Structure 1
Amino acid sequence: MAATRTARKAPADKYDERRTQLAESALLTLGELGYARSSLREIANNSEFSHGVVHYYFADKLELIIYCVRYYKARCVTRYDAVVADSSTPEQLVEAFAAKLVETILDEAPMHRLWYDLRTQSMFEEGLREAVLMIDRTLEEMIWRVVARYATLSGRDVVTTPAAAYGLLDGVFQRALLGHLTGRADALDDLRDQTRSLLPLLLAPAT
Structure 2
Amino acid sequence: MEVAPAPAPRSPTADRSSPKVARRRDELADAALTTLADLGYARTSLREIAANTDFSHGVLHYYFDDRLDLITHAVRRYNAVCVHRYDHVLAGAATAEQLLEGFSDALASTARAEAAQHRLWYDVRSQAMVEPALRADVLEIDATLSAMVWAVVARYAELSGTSPALGPDAVYACVDGAFQLGLLRHLCGDADAVDDLVTAVRALVPRLVSPAGPHLPAQPGR
Helix, strand or coil at the partner of 1:185: coil
1:52-74 deviation line (CA, Å, top 9, x unaligned): 11111112111111111112111
Aligned equivalents of 2:157 and 2:49: distance in 1? 44
The percentage of aligned residue pairs carrying the same residue is: 55
Taking only aligned residues, the RMSD between alpha carbons, in angstroms, comes to 1.2
Give the structure-1-normalised TM-score: 0.92
- 1:69 matched to 2:69? The reply is no
Which residue of structure 2 aligns with residue 4 of structure 1?
Answer: none
- 1:167 matched to 2:176? The reply is no
- 1:29 matched to 2:70? The reply is no
Aligned equivalents of 1:205 and 1:77: distance in 2? 28
Aligned equivalents of 1:81 and 1:13: distance in 2? 27
Give the AA of the match of 1:160.
L
Match among 139, 143, 158 for residue 149 of structure 2: 143
CA contact (8 A) 2:104 2:201 kept: yes
Q: Superposed, which structure 2 residues align to 1:115-130 within 5 Å?
A: 115-130=121-136
Match among 56, 60, 80 for residue 54 of structure 1: 60
1:146-205 deviation line (CA, Å, top 9, x unaligned): 001100110111111110110001000001101111110110111111111111101114
- 1:14 matched to 2:23? The reply is no
What stretches of structure 1 move > 4 A for 4+ residues in a row?
Answer: none
Helix, strand or coil at the partner of 2:164: coil
Give the AA of the match of 1:139.
L
Which residue of structure 2 aligns with residue 8 of structure 1?
Answer: none
Gaps of 5+ in 1: 1-10
Aligned equivalents of 2:86 and 2:168: distance in 1? 16
Structure with the larger helix share? 1
Which residue of structure 2 aligns with residue 82 of structure 1?
Answer: 88
Which residue of structure 1 aligns with residue 50 of structure 2?
Answer: 44
1:12 is displaced (CA, Å) by 2.1
Give the AA of the match of 1:123.
M
Aligned equivalents of 2:69 and 2:130: distance in 1? 16
Aligned equivalents of 2:129 and 2:151: distance in 1? 28
CA contact (8 A) 2:161 2:211 kept: no
Give the AA of the match of 1:91.
E
Which residue of structure 2 aligns with residue 152 of structure 1?
Answer: 158
Give the AA of the match of 1:196.
R
Give the structure-2-normalised TM-score: 0.86
1:46 is displaced (CA, Å) by 1.1
Which residue of structure 1 aligns with residue 111 of structure 2?
Answer: 105
Q: What is the aligned residue count? A: 196
Match among 181, 203, 207 for residue 201 of structure 1: 207
Gaps of 5+ in 2: 1-16, 213-222
Q: Superposed, which structure 2 residues align to 1:171-186 within 5 Å?
A: 171-186=177-192
